[in-house]
Amino acid sequence: MSKCEQCIVRQFSSLKALNKDELLRMAECKTSYTIKKGEPIFEEGEVTNGIYCIKDGVCKLSKLSDNGKDQIVKLVKPGELLGQRSMISDEPANLSAVALEDMEVCFIPRSEVMQFFTQNNQFSMNVMKTICEDLKGADDHMVNMAQKTVRQRLAETLIYLEDTFGKNDDGTLRIQLSREELAGMIGTATESCIRLLSELNKSTYIELIGKKIKLLDKNKLKRLT
């Protein structure tokens, strides 16, 4: 059982507001998990009974649509918390969380978090602000989905992926999504996504190196959006 006090990612989440005492209590009741790429942390409809703190690795939050396609709503990085909304609403998860890379996460039981929540004003304020950010992000995202073309959404998403998760040494996107997952982010058919990538490749906006993607001219891409 490692000490939460010394955990670096905690500093990036709402948990940074916890005091020494609370951190000790959390260290005692938390459970650490390793999640392999492709495995779920929780699924849509599941009762989560606590929140997850992402220590390492990236996961996708997605929802299965009636047409059988999985729409990715958000990608979540180390330092972020999962399951805050469910905890506050006291509802099952609205989205599935699946690892895009091998992950390390800590589970903190609902009872404990709720205690911090009512006792520690700064913590609850942090959680609230995070949810407010998510709401703003979701509203903006919705407008993009409704008003922009697939090509625009693809260009935007590629830029977002580079800005948020960075590049490998060879300049390709560090985060590795399958074509299907990328299609799930921009909300289109996998074939359409692949076709548009080919097109952007031919017109030297990007370079496709196997399954990897390298942005060649971010400004040119930005002009597409």
What residues line the site for DNA (CB under 7 A)?
67, 149-151, 178-180, 187-192, 194-195, 197-198, 208, 210-211
The strand pair at 103-109 and 31-35 is best described as antiparallel
Q: Which does 216 bind (CB under 5 to 8 A by kind): its own copies, DNA, none?
A: none
Q: How far is the CB of 152 from its own copies (least distance, A)?
A: 9
Q: Chain centroid to CA 117: how far?
A: 23
Q: Which does 65 bind (CB under 5 to 8 A by kind): DNA, its own copies, none?
A: its own copies
Which residues touch 158 (CB under 8 Å, ≥6 apart)? 173, 206, 213, 215, 221
- The per-residue b/e assignment along 135-148, b for 16 or more CB within 10 angstroms, e otherwise, is eeeeeeeeebeeeb
Question: In angstroms, what CA-CA distances link 127 with 61, 80, 101, 212?
Answer: 18, 11, 25, 35
Site string for its own copies, 3-42 (x = CB under 8 A): ----------------------------------------
Question: Is residue 98 a contact point for its own copies (CB under 8 A)?
Answer: no
Q: Which of 3, 138, 180, 199 binds its own copies (CB under 8 A)?
A: 138
Site string for its own copies, 51-90 (x = CB under 8 A): ------------x-xxx-x-x-x-----------x--xx-
Q: How far is the CB of 213 from its own copies (least distance, A)?
A: 21
Question: In angstroms, what CA-CA distances link 14 with 67, 123, 178?
Answer: 36, 6, 31
CB 181 within 8 A of CB 71: no
Residues of the shown chain interacting with its own copies in the complex, contacts defined by CB under 8 A: 63, 65-67, 69, 71, 73, 85, 88-89, 91, 94-95, 118, 121, 124, 128-129, 131-136, 138-148, 186-187, 225
